[in-house]
Structure formats: C-alpha cells, structure tokens
Amino acid sequence: MSTKKPNDPFDSFKRYSEIMEKQINDFIFLLSNNNEFVKMANTGTEANSRYLEMFKKNQEALAGALNIPTRNDLANIASLTIQTEGKIETLEEQIWGLQDTLKTQSKEIETVVEVSKEIIKLTKQLKTELVKTKKELADSKDLQSELQEIKFELNKLNNLKDEVEILKGHVEKDTPKEPVLTGADSTK
C-alpha cells in the first residue's frame, strides 16, 4: 500500500483559487496606491451615480405614465401598512378596554336595578303599612275620644254617686230609727 494521498480535485481548486485571490488583491493594492487611478475611479463613480439618478427619474416617470408602482411606492405602502396595523392594534386594545368597562358597568347597572326594585318593593310595603297605621291611628283617635266621653260620663256618675251618698246621709239623719225586733221567727 502506498502512503501517497489520492489526487483530490477540490484541494487543487482551493490552491488555485487562493493563488488567484492573492494576485487580484495585489493588483487592487497597486491600483489603489495610484493617485491617477483613484481620481479616475472617483470621476467614474460620480458619473455612474448621475447616470443612476437620471435612470431612476426616467424609470419613475415611465412607471407613473404606465401606472405601475415603483420601489418607493411599495416602500411607502409598506410603511403605511405597518402604521395602519399599529393603529388597528391600538384601536383593538381600546375596544377591549371599552368592552371590559361596559361589562363592569352593566354589572353595576344590574345591581342598581336590583337595588331599585328592592327599594320600590319596600316603598310599596311602607305605603301599605302607612295606610294601616293611619287607619289604626284614626281608630285609636276614635277610641280615645270615646274613652274621654266614657271618663266624662264616669265622672258624672261618680259625682251623682257622691251626691246620692250625701243625700242618703241627709235622709238617714232626718229619719228616726225604728227598733228592730229580733228573736221570734214568724215563719214557723
């Protein structure tokens, strides 16, 4: 067996590309050290940028005439879309907040309605009790006036009784006492 490696085409390609890269880098280094080359490259770059600017203006004019969107139009649309999505998300959050607020307020309103119903029910009960109380008060006033009349009559009767007692006392003083016989029973 031999200790020699087989010929790898990728290894030879790698070595060849490294050699080419070194030569190109050296060539670029030599050119970039040359002032005339730098001036010429600068002039070429300026001319190219003016040409690209003119090409871009012509392209936009043609796209406007043909009603075709340009790269700038698409970029504007993309930024407007992103802004719109952000605003929609903000609105959704506000709507969710409003929904939560409405839910809590509706629960509060339901409790207020229930409390109002209870108050109305109690008010009706109080009205019926007030009517009963007024009736009882009127009855008690009638009873009180009757009691006063009865007291007045009792006072009259007491006065009459006192007068009768006085008259009895006068009659007993004026009449002689008859002797009462005791002893014999006449019924036998």
What would the pLDDT profile of 118-163 be if each residue is shown by its tens digit?
999 999 999 999 999 999 888 888 888 888 999 999 999 899 888 8
Mean pLDDT, range 102-113, rounded to an integer: 90
- 164: which 2 tokens? 């009768």
Helix runs in the chain, H state only: 9-32, 35-66, 71-174
Report pTM: 0.38
Range in 3-7, 74-78, 82-86, 102-106 the model is least confident about: 3-7
pLDDT in tens, 17-69: 999 999 999 988 887 788 888 888 899 999 999 999 999 899 888 888 888 88
User: Please, is 112 exposed, middle or buried when counting C-beta atoms within 10 Å of its C-beta (0-12, 13-18, 19+)?
Assistant: exposed
In the chain, the amino acid numbered 45 is: T
In the chain, the amino acid numbered 163 is: E
95/127 Cα distance (integer angstroms): 46
In the chain, the amino acid numbered 103 is: K
Predicted confidence at residue 185, as pLDDT, reads: 58
Q: How many CB atoms lie within 10 A of CB 65?
A: 8
Q: What is the CA radius of gyration of the chain?
A: 65
Residue that has been written with the tokens 């340009």 in this structure: 70
- 87: which 2 tokens? 């605003």
Cβ-Cβ contacts under 8 Å for 54 (sequence gap 6 or more) = none
Which of 84, 87, 66, 65 shows the shortest CA–CA distance to 76?
84
Q: How many CB atoms lie within 10 A of CB 73?
A: 13
- 132: which 2 tokens? 């009963």
Cβ-Cβ contacts under 8 Å for 60 (sequence gap 6 or more) = 70, 72
Predicted confidence at residue 68, as pLDDT, reads: 86
- 131: which 2 tokens? 């009517």
Predicted confidence at residue 7, as pLDDT, reads: 77
